[in-house]
Structure 1
């Protein structure tokens, strides 16, 4: 069973759309497919067990995770394009043996290493060098060379600091023993808090998403929005926005989200009149929004909670309203685009009744209720995910038992466990390199130096510092995951933003949102590229349309910093006023972004609409009143202008 599923999954992943490195995965022969499937399934079971057995030591917990991830990566991902594609090479098997020796030594000898902190032995140094090489090579295979290269440069920087010219970046340098102790022989570096967050929280939510998908939740999360919104103008795109938001809120990857939902929504958008590049852009923008829509919000949100030392539910509370505003803005842009270009609703024969969809799939909402209920009653995020997974599986077992399909339940369960393990590889491969980067930044004091540089470059202006951080996230995002992108700049840039007056939580949220921009910002915008592959559209044109529909992604971080009541600690009239103003502001903002309201509007009129949106976004009654009055006046003038507007077909625009 494990063999057939692992082999089948590989066939599915070798699609023309390069999603999360799947084009580099091996297509196993049956024997190695069975071996890998068994390892992945046991890994997923171990994740669930780790939630229940709290007696596991940190060395076993973290060392075992790194061992499992690196071993499966060496098995699944070839070293080079000419490496064997159906089985691991002899070099891969040798690296797996080295991983068992290296990380097994950490698990067994950790207590002794703690006693000799600061006095690493030659053996510790050798194993530290092996560990660094293994985790960086695993990350290179599963993602790209950029993140491992940054980690390696920082390790060398830690050692060669005395040779670095200038007082700003130069430092006294650290001995090999000190670096080995920091990176390997301690609960910092490879086995630090980053690894802890990944295994304790992130991987459980990855597994939860895999379980939901294996049992058909994806079809429900697509079918329900189609039934709800398909009958309106631009219904296909609106359904895409909502389904991508729902699916993305539990998937944790914008690119994978596009591949999962876009295969249905993008062809549907094209059939109703959207140009291929516009359909790809809408899907990419909506899927990216799912990355900051609770409950999951990707790995970065868990890391944020850990760094801020607050319960994860507090991150959910402050993230919910901004995320909903983002989706309202995207829906408004989609609606105006549809009205202006004459896009039709989804044909009645292609959509179902809402009651029929709910009757057949209501139980997919049950685990989300369990998840939110557990979080808001004080449970940890890991235990909440565990409860959601187990309750859903128990329900599905009873349901399929009554339907006389018990064998199918176990087949889908094994499939979910294997997919959960496999989907952990790319995400998990970032944990150790990022841990190395964080430990070297803290050891060398580079974070304080970077903060000084950022403050100097921005001339102590917070708005300019935010722009520089945004540029930095886009550049870093070209070669690494958004999680690594966020964490590196959270360590380097957040202290500077704090010194310039930004509240700490607002600064983290700003960097977190900015880090998602690499999904939709050319030249490297993987979510848009994935959508373009499905839509058979120009990738860069799709990327620019994705930027347009994701415009709030670049604006909201400034509002986090300059509008504190957007993320309040309590609720009062000022908070309500701000939320209502921002909600109304999505209308003129969408009109300005698309160039349509009741008809096509000119450049000057778009600027006026943008000014109305800005006025409504300022948490001051006077500006809000001016913005609202301006919006109502412009809407009245546009709807009554003498010049009759004739809709232009979507194909006629470029």
Structure 2
């Protein structure tokens, strides 16, 4: 008889379900993921069903898995939770059933039931995001709703006549512009299928394979465990696209290993946090925000993935350099040879785990839609898992993969409806262009100051939202300002997206760093500041995209190659300046560090030939100074 005990338990961050309640959750989760996996492959569903079912079942799973308050039961649903589940099904079921009737007969004149259901939908979505993500993003949404009603009291250009409650409710709920707008459509159509793909790939054994591969490649190097963290997070990030998921998954192995080999606890947590943040823009999957970016800029997902190749390479090269120099500074060594597997053995056993990624990329190049690629990537992961007996995905593992994908979405998708409310408030009041005008005026039309302001705003917004949420808000209120200042559209949106990624590691609220600190048992704030040091390239990349669009493959190929090589060189010089030690060994004097730092600044912003020549000349001088110091120290160490 088949063992089904695994269906009788669900472990969440704040609630653990057992018995019949766990069974109900798992059945809903598996059905939810199964439905969207099917639609990603066959697409047989109406627009209103696609968007409505996504928000409905996301909220239902959140109400089951996240307790309402600290005093709520953590081992079962409360009556309050059940009431919200019933309300959610009724409200979103009504929208799905009535949308066509509204669009044909009731536009601009919603009936009383429409308005009541709209009010309840707003309450449901605010509660969904509050439970899963905390109160901040819900409070932001409430503020944007209030400004619609009290628009006449807003200052200066942001002022507007204000709108009736009926108009606010209709636009927010009944149309496909706010709650059921482009954000929901993108998550339901593209993001969720890739979450399922990531869950299947991990369930098929790919997560362990990537970990073993990173250990085999980098384990014996100086500071090997930290380099394993960087490499495995880059590989795992390409399938998960979630920084926190990366930290929790790979960090449980890499962080203790880093600490064991000599890294300080806060540095171990920080390295894992920043490496996992890199998964947000590591092709081919990247983070959920990239799908939104592709939709808003009307650019193919494949094009966005290709444009991120050079920035991702620069990011991880810089991070590996930082890790290597930190290991050199501490005098650390790698993992003993006998404890590291051979690359040949790891690849022989698990080379097939690359095939689902190859299939996804191949289908993208062939012109198929992103969700269709996710479908066949998921199917191929399940089929290829049968190559090894211990990883074979039978019916149990397939259902667990579906449940895992739905659980991942419960956290990532909890904010989507609330973000729709925020976007609706911005669009209905015309705040996007108004805020962009204010931003341009405040910066005096100076692009550098404008990017500084965008980065600052992204950090503030990111305190209460995910990377995706921060980017969605900034794409409406900040990206247009950069575009007006002459930045190419996609470059402007990517600058905003990378600025949003920065909030993952920027104190005082840095979710990825806090997750790493929890595993490392390190002070959260100290871990956050350390992550900011290791992730210095994310700080400068928004500026780079604005000034050097060649990094995003925009321009002629000779210019792209030239700028990219200078940028990568500058990133390495910046790592040397920050760490204060050269790869050849000696600690650097302060003048030498400053020389490396200035050369890095000139190289990462290749403005013209003379600045480039100056940067290269200063770099050569810095290297010669470091070599001279190393030679002198070695001569002193040799007995005469």
SS of corresponding position for 1:28: strand
SS of corresponding position for 2:109: coil
The one of 566, 569, 583 aligned to 1:584: 569
Q: Does 1:605 align with 2:595?
A: no
Q: 1:155, 1:618 → 2: CA distance?
A: 41
Deviation for aligned residue 1:56: 1.2
SS of corresponding position for 1:120: coil
Question: 1:121–1:177: 8 Å Cα contact kept in structure 2?
Answer: no
5 Å-filtered alignment, 1:283-322, equals 283-322=272-311
Deviation for aligned residue 1:9: 5.0
SS of corresponding position for 1:273: coil
1:266-302: per-residue Cα shift (whole Å, max 9, x none)?
A: 1111122111111111111111111111112211101
Q: Does 1:33 align with 2:22?
A: yes
Question: 2:214–2:232: 8 Å Cα contact kept in structure 1?
Answer: yes
5 Å-filtered alignment, 1:334-373, equals 334-373=323-362
**1:210 corresponding residue in structure 2:** 199
Question: 1:280–1:535: 8 Å Cα contact kept in structure 2?
Answer: yes
The one of 210, 230, 235 aligned to 2:224: 235
**1:466 corresponding residue in structure 2:** 451
Q: 1:416, 1:510 → 2: CA distance?
A: 34
**2:78 corresponding residue in structure 1:** 89
Change in 2 beyond 3 A, CA 1:30/1:570:
same
SS of corresponding position for 1:87: coil
Q: Does 1:158 align with 2:148?
A: yes
Deviation for aligned residue 1:41: 0.7
Question: 2:9–2:17: 8 Å Cα contact kept in structure 1?
Answer: no
SS of corresponding position for 2:581: coil
Deviation for aligned residue 1:640: 2.5
Q: Does 1:124 align with 2:114?
A: yes
Question: 1:7–1:27: 8 Å Cα contact kept in structure 2?
Answer: no
Q: Does 1:448 align with 2:437?
A: no
Deviation for aligned residue 1:438: 0.9
The one of 421, 425, 444 aligned to 2:410: 425
SS of corresponding position for 1:184: helix
Q: Does 1:258 align with 2:225?
A: no
Q: 2:412, 2:30 → 1: CA distance?
A: 17
Deviation for aligned residue 1:2: 9.7
**2:619 corresponding residue in structure 1:** 631
Deviation for aligned residue 1:124: 0.7
Deviation for aligned residue 1:521: 1.1
Deviation for aligned residue 1:4: 3.9
Q: 2:199, 2:474 → 1: CA distance?
A: 29
Give RMSD over aligned pairs. Answer: 1.8
Question: 2:243–2:512: 8 Å Cα contact kept in structure 1?
Answer: yes
Q: 2:115, 2:539 → 1: CA distance?
A: 44
Q: 1:636, 1:452 → 2: CA distance?
A: 48
Q: 2:294, 2:331 → 1: CA distance?
A: 45
Q: 2:275, 2:299 → 1: CA distance?
A: 28
The one of 270, 273, 291 aligned to 1:281: 270
**2:638 corresponding residue in structure 1:** none
SS of corresponding position for 2:308: helix
The one of 503, 510, 530 aligned to 2:488: 503
Change in 2 beyond 3 A, CA 1:499/1:3:
farther
The one of 415, 429, 432 aligned to 2:400: 415
1:280-334: per-residue Cα shift (whole Å, max 9, x none)?
A: 1111111111111111221110101111111111111111111111100111111
Paired residues, number: 629
5 Å-filtered alignment, 1:96-115, equals 96-115=85-104
The one of 62, 65, 71 aligned to 1:73: 62
Question: 1:231–1:346: 8 Å Cα contact kept in structure 2?
Answer: yes
Q: 2:368, 2:422 → 1: CA distance?
A: 31
Structure 1 unaligned segments of length 5 or more: list them.
Answer: 14-21, 647-654
Q: 1:347, 1:103 → 2: CA distance?
A: 57
Q: 2:214, 2:300 → 1: CA distance?
A: 31
